Each structure stands twice: as C-alpha cells, then as structure tokens.
Structure 1
C-alpha cells in the first residue's frame, strides 16, 4: 500500500517502508519518541528537553515516519548551518526513499520541493503556511534565542493546524516556566543513550587569567591541564571568552605544542580543523563558544578559560560540558571551569547537570 502527498502541481508517493533506520532506542528515547508521535498526531506544541548526547535526532524518526504516512509535509529547522549540514545526511540515510531538501545560505536545493526539509531558521522566511509539522532543533541557540523575527519566520512557515516540536538540552527560563505551569507539554530525557551519567564540571581557580595572558604567561593551573592532556594524547577543546583573548594566548600555547590551533566564527577552515582533531592529526583546539554545540569527538576533554565571563551563560556552559563523554566506548572524561571567581551561571550549570543525573538515576535510566 502506498500513501500519496499532493502539493500544488506536485505529487509525492510515500512507500510503506519509508524509514530504513535499523537502530534501537533506549528506554528514555522510546518514551520521548512515543510522546512526539502523539504530539504530531494531535497537532500539539511540544518540548523535548533532552540532555546533550541523549540521541534526540533518533527520537524524531518515528514521528517523521508517521507524518509522512499521513501525507504531511515536515520541516526540521535549526539556527545554525553547521547543524543543518550534520542533520541532513542522517535524515537522508534514515529516509532514503524520499527526497530530503537541505536549505541554508548558498545551498543547491534552494528551489526544490519535498515532503521533508532540513533548513536554517533564516530560510523559513521563504515559506508561508507550507508545513504541517515543524521541528525546531537547538531552540535555545543563537541567533534564534534572541531574534524575534526568526520566531515570526517559524510561525509564518507553518499551517495554522501544524504540530510544533521544540528540541533542546537547555530550554530558556520562560520555556521551563511554561512547562512547569502546564502551559507547554514536554518530555524530559535526563540520560544519555549509553546509560552513563553526564560528567559533572569541576571548578578550578586559575588566578587573574586575563592579566597573566597580557604578561605572556599561561596561568599555572591551565598550563598543567593542557600539558597533561598532551602527555596522555587526549584530544581537547579550550574555550575562550573572546577571539581577542584567544589570539593573544595561542602563541603561548604553541610553546607547549606547535600543532595546537584556533577556530572561531570567522575562521574559513573551521570544519577542517575539527576533522583534524577528530582524526588525531592535531592534539587540541582553542575555540570560542562557536564550538559549544554539534561537536562529537571520542575521548574529548574540555576546559573553559575565564568561565566566570558573562559570555558563558548557564546554557552555554551546559552545552560545552555536553561535548564530553558522548560515546559508548568512552562515556567519561573531564570538563573543567577555570575561573578568577565563581559566577552564578557556573554554579547553575553544575546544578543543572547534577539534577539531570539524579533524575536519570531515579528513573532507572542509568546503569548502576
């Protein structure tokens, strides 16, 4: 039996076996998947609050399959092009029997038409009441989190009766209030798919790091941390509060290893540098918050320099911590907040992760 979707002068045929994903879901994922299917069928507004590394993309597959079989048109939108480029091949692999359109600035698919679209939130300005289901991934990410026009674009692009699914590991305070007051339906996945707890950040005083960098010195605590990872051949990311401070510091770190490099939002070969780190060609990267999401590297460890800086919000610090311990083979690892004085955001980020681990244990989602 085939299912048919009809658009303006265009028809799509959806085969029975439209989804070819052969993986299995954890208990937490399966519960969330069932909830998302119900939300899509019920045309609801729904939040999936899933910790970093929970496998939230796979949670969507059954709902997308159900929507396709019901003749619905679906869009998975996200604020960042990097995430679009990471999600698109995964969806094409999971749904090989249909065309998956990929939209971002300069993409080749800009004039295509398909039942399943992956797009940046900026691309949604092009659509008017086009989608029966819209999924907004990384709903807390910049620039969507601060740009009301992008919220308007999402609203404009979906039909009045559309289901709206939000995904994030770090929902805004407003979203949390709506959930707790019962005004926004939600499901929480407090555990990663590998059933191991999220590594809890450690806080370490590093002195006046800004002054020491200006004096052409690496703070001793940070020097020791980096040297130990270099010695043990553990890949690492060092997060800095600004490009300026990072560029001041890189010559100092190159004394420890000339292979160390930097990445930031204006860096032309950011993807190549990340691939080099993943493949063991370079030992570590100095970065800004541009790398707080969408990075999965086995055995990776992370440190934040100047974690008390205002650029490191609770959300950013939770996301940064979420880069560590993401694989079955290596579910542990260290995340260190180096600081010259603890901030409220630092304390709240640690508390956030501890609460999720506690909830996961209580629900039997972690191995003893």
Structure 2
C-alpha cells in the first residue's frame, strides 16, 4: 500500500543516507538513477527482467495473497538470475505447503533486530462492550487501562472490527476527554491523521485492520477492543501484536485483547508468539 511505501522510504533514508532511493506508487513513477526502489507491487508492470534482488514483504496479505496476476508481475520484473526474498510474520497454508515440500528455501528469524523478546498479549474480559458503546459510554475496565496509558504518555492504537464500531468508540473516548481519531479504508486525508498521531497531537488512534501491518510508532500500546470478532483471526492478532516494541529505544509495550469470550484465535496467537520467544532462547534460528 502507498502509506507503507512512504513510511519505508523515510525509514530507509536513515539507513542509506547517500544512496539514491525513490518511491513508486500510483502517484509517483520516477525511478531515474535510483539503484534502490520502494514500490507497490502493481508498479512492477513497468519492468521486465530488471531486478537482481526483489524483497517482497507481507506475502500473505491482501492484495498479493492468492493473486496470480501480481505473482506474475513479480516474476516478470526479476532477472533470470535474480533473487526473490519473500517475508512475513505469518504464513498462509499455500506457503506452508511449499515449505513442507522443500520447493522454497526457508529461514526463520526468531528475534527482532534489537534482541528483545516479543511482547505477549494479555486477555481482558469485557462483557458489556457493545451495550455500553451504544449508550455512548466506555466500559470502565477499558477506561481505567486507557487512563493509565494516557498518564504514561504512550500513544495508543485501538483496533475494532468495523468502522461503525470505531465511530462509537471515538465518541465514547471523547466523552471521557481523550483525544481520539478514527482511521479506516475510506478515511479522507489518512496521512494527516497518521502525522498527527506521530506528533502525539492525537492520544488514541482507533482503527480497523487497516493498520494491522506496515506501520511503526515508538512507545506504542495496543488494544483490540472486540478481539473475539471473527475478523480477528490468529494471523491478524499476531500482526497486530507486532506493532509494539519495534523501536530500539522502546523495545517493549503492552498488547491487550479485550473480549467477552476467549477465542481459539486469541489463544493460538499468544501461543505462537510465546513459541517464537522460546525458539529465540534456544538459539535455533533456521528451520
């Protein structure tokens, strides 16, 4: 997505300050004299056997997952002798099958670059979420947690299952004097909202699964409001949990799954994150 391209561009500029680095997305197509490009996948339509190395992130995410056309674009843009590196914190069944059949080489990196363990989510039972929000009231269990995070001056991401619930959450937060905004797939001026959140002009950013991947904010705390909703699958919850602890200066954070019931997805997401930490501690890095 374009927002991810823009974020990666600014991040990589810090690591490659003297390298010519350019972005490619629907509104920007200049690649002149740039050995390093950051691009959305559809822009690869302009290239034929061009790249020695293609790094494809979030291979199990929309729109790449199961999209034969986009996969052909990737292969077309790669040189015959080129290397394709595919990455993701989660893997769909098709990728797992390829690994089991040894048709692709597989490396598991079980720790982050800063060496700190992945943060384990905690489950918090909230029995009256929808009823409270329909009356414009924030459940007290949630309000107390958010007040603590607010006191610690931590930026907060609150995930919800759908935009309509997000509007109720923002209204209830504002009633409690929180500074809150909603961002979802149809939001106008999303970059303004994200920039305000980065500058900590907004305390709480309420979002759908739009921001489950590809965004990094330091000192972040994360809450999934209705974590027992079917949209929050195991892989989605793992990706959401990965939003915290991404910076060297803030390598840990809190993740809370709030729900009436504890789902299989919640339990397996926590178990898989714990297993990654155990793998890191065992010293095994390749599977």
TM-score normalised by structure 2 residue count: 0.89
Q: CA deviation at 1:249?
A: 2.4
Residue of structure 2 equivalent to 1:223: 143
Q: Is the 8 A contact 2:155 2:203 kept in 1?
A: yes
Distance in 1, Cα, partners of 2:252 & 2:17? 34
Deviations 1:32-62 (A, max 9, x none): xxxxxxxxxxxxxxxxxxxxxxxxxxxxxxx
Q: Is the 8 A contact 1:101 1:113 kept in 2?
A: no
SS at match of 1:324: coil
- 1:195 and 1:229, CA in 2 relative to 1: closer, same or farther beyond 3 A? same
Q: CA deviation at 1:90?
A: 4.3
SS at match of 1:133: strand
Which residues of structure 1 form unaligned runs of 5+?
A: 1-79
SS at match of 2:245: coil
Residue of structure 1 equivalent to 2:86: 166
Q: Is the 8 A contact 1:234 1:301 kept in 2?
A: yes
Residue of structure 2 equivalent to 1:11: none
Q: Does 1:260 align with 2:183?
A: no
* 1:127-276 pair list within 5 angstroms: 127-276=47-196
Residue of structure 1 equivalent to 2:239: 319
Which residues of structure 2 form unaligned runs of 5+?
A: none
Structure 1 segments (4+ residues) deviating >3 Å = 89-101, 112-116
- 1:358 and 1:224, CA in 2 relative to 1: closer, same or farther beyond 3 A? same
Distance in 2, Cα, partners of 1:359 & 1:265? 36
Distance in 2, Cα, partners of 1:329 & 1:101? 27
Deviations 1:195-253 (A, max 9, x none): 21111011112114233322333223222222222233222111011111101221111
Q: CA deviation at 1:269?
A: 3.0
* 1:22-61 pair list within 5 angstroms: none
TM-score normalised by structure 1 residue count: 0.71
Match of 2:4 among 83, 101, 118: 83
Distance in 1, Cα, partners of 2:14 & 2:249? 24
Deviates further, 165-174 or 153-162: 153-162
- 1:171 and 1:97, CA in 2 relative to 1: closer, same or farther beyond 3 A? same
SS at match of 2:108: strand
Distance in 2, Cα, partners of 1:311 & 1:146? 18
Deviations 1:321-353 (A, max 9, x none): 111122333322210001122222212211110
- 1:308 and 1:301, CA in 2 relative to 1: closer, same or farther beyond 3 A? same
Tell me how large the CA RMSD over aligned residues is: 2.3
Residue of structure 2 equivalent to 1:341: 261
Q: CA deviation at 1:276?
A: 2.6
